[in-house]
Structures are given as C-alpha cells and as structure tokens.
Amino acid sequence: MSGVFEVNHPLISCHLTRLRDKTTPPAEFRQYVRRLATLLAYEATKDLHVADEQVATPLTTTTGSKLGQRIGLVPILRAGLGMVEPVIDLIPTAEVWHLGLYRDEATAEPVEYYSKLPQQHPVDVALVLDPMLATGGSAVAAMTSLQRWGVQQVKLLSVIAAREGIEAVNTAFPNAQIYVCKIDPQLNDHKFIVPGLGDAGDRTFNTKA
C-alpha cells in the first residue's frame, strides 16, 4: 500500500526479537522500545524540510541547516509515552502533545479520555507514536483529532502493526505515512496482534495483573 513503510534492518530484527520475548523484563523492554523508536524516527523524518542557517565554526563561517517546520510528537497514552524520549532526543525542538485513548474491551472501539491539543496554531508535521497498531481504531481517532486541529501532514510510527490496522488507517487517511518495524499477519479473537508482543503498555510500565 502506498505510504506504508516496513523498515527492514538487521538491528530492528534483533531488537524486535528481544521485545517479543515474554521473558524480557520491563526495564529491558523499555530499552528496546526506545531503540526501535529511534530507528523508526530516523526513517520517518527523511523528508522533513530544512532551511539554511549560517554558523561560525572555530575557523570560519559556513552554511548549515535547521528544521524549517514545526514538528509535533503525539504519543497515544499510555504505551506511546515509551517512544517520546528517543524521538525528542533526535528532534529537540519538537512539541509534545498528548492524547489519551483506551480500547473498550467489549466493543474493541477507542474511547478518548484526555486531549491536550490546542484549538489553534497546528504544527506542520505530527508524528503519532503508538507501539502497537492493532485494529487501527486508536490511530484513526488520534489522526482525526489532528485533522480537526488543522495538521497538514501526519505520520504514524508503530513498532508492530497488524494488516487490519494498516488497512483501517490507510482507508481513513490515504495520504498519511505509516512507519512500522514489522507487519504481523493477523489479530486473534481478542483483537491482539499475533504473534505480536502482548500488551505494550503493561510490559512497559510493569502493570500486568
């Protein structure tokens, strides 16, 4: 599908294997999420616009570059929080706007419980951060909120995605870009990605019941 990028790289493959392993403890799980988020962000930001900037080196002056667009990071609470730090390390000038969404287990539909998006002055590019793209409901809801805000370019960064979720996002937002480390084949009866890695939020924050 157009606009869908499955990033193939030996490091991604190795980090993802450790992330999937059910014996990986939360502290290590968070490290692997950060590493994968860094690699995803590197790919997703290749087409950002830059402007010229004059700087003085210890020897002379030269022309360099600076970002020419306002970038917004939009983590979907709560699992998306684990992807913020590595991405903002790459883009220190980025703004962070939070969206709280959870999946109703009875209907598998997203429920919004928190939004920090302002009413005016949208960013130029929004990077939606969510480790798991399962049904696509939360991603579509987040991107709908960003569309209402007036964001012109939206990119979704997910560690693992199911084909069903990608199709849902691609149908609702055909011009959006989706960057994933791996596309898994299916969802189970409980709408979890298979083989997947379980509940990313619980594994990140050590809250599994």
Measure CA 180 to chain center. Answer: 8
Residue 209: per-residue pLDDT: 58
If 0-12 CB within 10 Å is exposed, 13-18 middle and 19+ buried, where does residue 37 land? buried
Question: Given this model, what pLDDT does residue 99 score?
Answer: 87
Quick check: is 202 catalytic? Answer: yes
- Give residue 1's pLDDT: 57
Cβ contact 146:126 at 8 Å: yes
Q: What is the pLDDT of residue 130?
A: 95
Annotated active-site residue 60? The verdict is no
Cα–Cα distances (Å) from 209 to 27, 76, 113, 202, 206, in that order, read: 17, 21, 22, 9, 9
Query: Chunked in runs of 10, what are the mean pLDDT values of the chain (209 residues)?
Result: 88 97 95 97 96 97 96 93 96 93 71 83 96 93 93 96 95 95 94 92 85
Task: Count structural domains, the chain.
Answer: 1
Name the active-site residue from 52, 61, 107, 189.
107
Cβ atoms of residues 74 and 128 within 8 Å: yes
Catalytic residue among 18, 34, 103, 163: 103
Domain housing 81: 4-205
184 catalytic? Reply is no
Find the CATH number of the domain harbouring 148: 3.40.50.2020
Burial of 106-137, coded b for 16+ CB within 10 Å and e otherwise, reads: eeeebeeeeeebeeeebbebbbbbbbbbbbbb
CB 76 within 8 A of CB 129: yes
